[in-house]
A and B are shown apart, each in its own frame.
Chain A
Amino acid sequence: MCATSLFAQSLTFSPAGTIPPPVDLIRVDGTHAYVSSGRTLTIYDVSNPDLPKREGAYTFPEEIWSFRVAGGTAYVGANFFGLGILDVSNPAAPALRGSFKTPGQAKTASAFESKIVVIDHKEGVVLVDASNAAKPVSPGSFFVDGYARDIVTAGSMAYAVDSPAGFYILDLSAPRPMEPVSALQTGAGLRTVEVSGPLAALVGNGLLQLYDVSKPSVPVKIPPFKTPGGALRAAISGTTVYVADGREGLQVVDFSDRSTPKIVGSYGTSGVARDVAVGGSVVFVVVTEANAKPQDGGRVVILRQQR
């Protein structure tokens, strides 16, 4: 029996527009969607979800592993090029404000004020002070034993994961920000982390693993949740987690009752759902063809959600 049929569907989705291939990853900030493919970050105006409009693009010297967008700036992990600090305040003409070469491959980055934390394959978490964006410096780093994978900031707190199992919380406002507030070994094969309010959503080995991080020094594990397709990435809004669930398309899990999370919506995609982003009542799903390789890139299916 399919998991989605066990519960009443409280969210429905209707297709709006699409963003054409190739797309690897997507982030949404305000009325704009930011998509990466290979070395290029492209910006779309999605204020009208039916007709996304391409505005501008920026090509890095090396492959974009992942990125985050906040306050008119994209923080990009551009492989051996390092951290790219991209000014996207003018979407038609994104401009590189600064960069910082980390010791290994830069994977992604996130910021708190002028402090940027970069995931580096060799080093772990590298702190970059971009007070002078043109000349960023690194005051320190935090080594992780495994393969550092992802990081996201929420306020001054940074949440990082590594494979196989590390989950780390750092306080970037602390005098020693690279000493984690907490570090624990959790579910295997961690790949991504997203945070909304007191909830952190970790994805790895197809599982969705949530933590209550309202006390960052003592994250509380919520029982893992298995979506029908195997989670690849997730986005979180409040207590609702949107899961790019592979061949099972989009799955939406409600964690308002943490003891009994349930699927409250789904949308079947024609291919493999690989990434997801949420902007208000609009959901963006990156979908690749069923037989495509992960690196082939997909298109973005834009969905309106209704309760």
Chain B
Amino acid sequence: MKHVLLVVALVFAALAGAGAATDQWPQFRGIRAGLVADDPSLPDTWSETDNIAWKTAIPGVGWSSPVVWDDHVFVTAAIAGGEERQPIRGLYDPGDENGSFKSTHEHRWMLYDVDFKSGRIRWEHEIARGIPSVGKHIKNTFASETPVTDGRYVYVYLASAGLLTAIDLKGKTVWTKETGALPGSSEYGSGSSPALYKDRVIIVSDNRTQSYIASYETRTGRELWNVPRQESQGWATPLVWENELRTEIVTASTNKVRSYDLDGGLLWELKGMTTLSTPSPFASRGLVYISSGYPGTAPRPVYAIKPGASGDISLGQDQTSNEFVAWFQPLLGTYNTSALVLGDYYYTLLDRGFLLCHDARTGREIYGRQRISAESSGFTASPWAYNGKIFLLSEDGDTFVVQSGPEFKLLGKNSLNEMTMATPAVLRGSVILRTQSKLYRIARARK
């Protein structure tokens, strides 16, 4: 009888887990790189007052995205103990100052658990406290890494605080791993989020001291492996790519794209990135897409990579493809946003407010630069899509809605009138969208 009960319990847990997997938003851009299953209950329009289930003030600032598990919406933030320089909207040239500065104020690095239904802050947890020892770009925050959760713990990586930590759903620290606060060469701060695969959490720390990729046991924080990297800065989140041949960890950075096996062994690498590498690799329909596009340099590449590569798969001069590079575009890469593949199309959201569309399988241009809005300051959040529509969130807090497909068609604009650079979470008929001071749950109002 005991055995029967155990089996029943395991089956129930497995089914519940399988069902829940599509109903959660456990990581940056969700599990499908911004794609959301069509759901007629998802909202197309909203404002500060319309189709708002709730909005909650979040103390501090953070461009990390919300992640959601069941009724828990998790957001990180850093609260400054004094007046800080405010971020500036749009592509910003700081001139000779480089845009980097060091805060002199004590900060509190926080994790908030917000109730999905009501928006009430269920608990807050101070992860760390101190004066950041590293600088950051005026537009960055000290809490730009999106946490990741498996429903048991929330794994929070805060490079500026120098730690990776696991916190349970009641707000208690389970383990903490000191990683050291290691600045990148430009002192622009951090942004690369952790990735989760089964029982391990993976981080990439590209810095000017000793760059590395490392894997930790989720239950204990025990370091499983740590592999040095020849990089000096980077902001892209590693991708665990479960393709038809194997599972691998794809990383993008300034010098190279590298893919590792689950034990940290280097599988393949690719040269030809740009100076500052921020967009995160993502997979769709058998290909992994990688890009980088600092506007002041060239190339600004996009690569579509096939599974199964090994060794150096860099393109030769004048090559646009090879055995494992399905296609390459030399000047399509974005500065901050990650691209979106929906159906047959690869959509590029340029930071300065253009949308482009290419064939996702071949890289062929479907349509060139389309101005989204002459008034918008810029775009940093990555696009998302559902119900045949693509959503483009500007730094002004305006979400532009564009029809998917081979022709550009702007359908509307939804304004929240506050700066944001965070990519939302979308699930269960709701868009969980973070602005500089607030967290919104946007959902169709019940009539």
Contacts and interface: CB of A to CB of B under 8 A. Distances in A.
User: Does A pair with B?
Assistant: yes
A143 B95 contact: no
9 contacts: A63-B95, A103-B90, A103-B377, A104-B92, A145-B295, A146-B296, A146-B297, A163-B296, A295-B95
Contacts of A63: 95
Most A Cβ at <10 Å: residue of B297, B369, B377: B297
B378 A294 contact: no
A96 interface: no
Interface in A40-83: 63, 65
A121 interface: yes
A209 to B, nearest CB: 16
Classify chain B: how many residues form its interface, as a range: 20 to 34
B244 interface: no
A295 B97 contact: yes
Given A143-B352, A145-B331, A121 B91 contact: yes
Contacts of A122: 90-91, 352, 377-378
A164 interface: yes
Contacts of A123: 352
B297 A295 contact: no
A105 interface: yes
Contacts of A294: 96
B296 A147 contact: yes
Given A104-B91, A121-B92, A143 B369 contact: yes
Interface in A88-139: 103-105, 107, 121-123
Given A104-B377, A122-B90, A295-B95, 9 more contacts: A65-B95, A103-B90, A105-B92, A122-B378, A143-B354, A145-B295, A146-B296, A146-B298, A164-B297
Interface of A: 63, 65, 103-105, 107, 121-123, 143, 145-147, 163-165, 185, 188, 293-295
A168 to B, nearest CB: 15
The 8 closest A-B pairs by CB, nearest first: A295-B96, A294-B96, A147-B296, A163-B296, A121-B93, A164-B298, A122-B91, A164-B297
Interface in B351-401: 352, 354, 369, 374-375, 377-378
A144 to B, nearest CB: 9
Interface string B49-93: 000000000000000000000000000000000000000001111
Contacts of A293: 96
B93 A147 contact: yes
Contacts of A65: 95
Interface of B: 90-93, 95-97, 295-298, 300, 331, 352, 354, 369, 374-375, 377-378
Contacts of B97: 295
A103 B374 contact: yes
Contacts of B298: 146, 164-165, 185, 188
A146 B295 contact: yes
A294 B94 CA distance: 13
Contacts of B95: 63, 65, 295
A114 B341 CA distance: 46
A165 B93 CA distance: 17
Nearest to B299: A164
Contacts of A105: 92-93
Contacts of A146: 295-298
Contacts of A143: 352, 354, 369
A107 B374 CA distance: 19
A65 B91 CA distance: 16
A192 B296 CA distance: 14
Nearest to A121: B93
Nearest to B93: A121
Contacts of A163: 296-297
A147 B295 contact: yes
Most A Cβ at <10 Å: residue of B91, B331, B375: B91
Most B Cβ at <10 Å: residue of A105, A121, A122, A165: A122
A33 B362 CA distance: 56
Nearest to A185: B298
Contacts of B331: 145
B232 to A, nearest CB: 19
A107 B331 CA distance: 24
A123 B90 CA distance: 11
A145 B297 CA distance: 10
Contacts of A145: 295, 300, 331
Most B Cβ at <10 Å: residue of A65, A107, A146, A163: A146
A265 B377 CA distance: 47
A188 B297 CA distance: 8
Contacts of B96: 293-295
B374 to A, nearest CB: 7
A107 B92 CA distance: 12
Contacts of B93: 105, 107, 121, 147
A271 B223 CA distance: 52
Nearest to B352: A122
Contacts of B91: 104, 121-122
A145 B329 CA distance: 14
A258 B378 CA distance: 43
Contacts of A164: 296-298
A146 B375 CA distance: 20
A165 B299 CA distance: 11
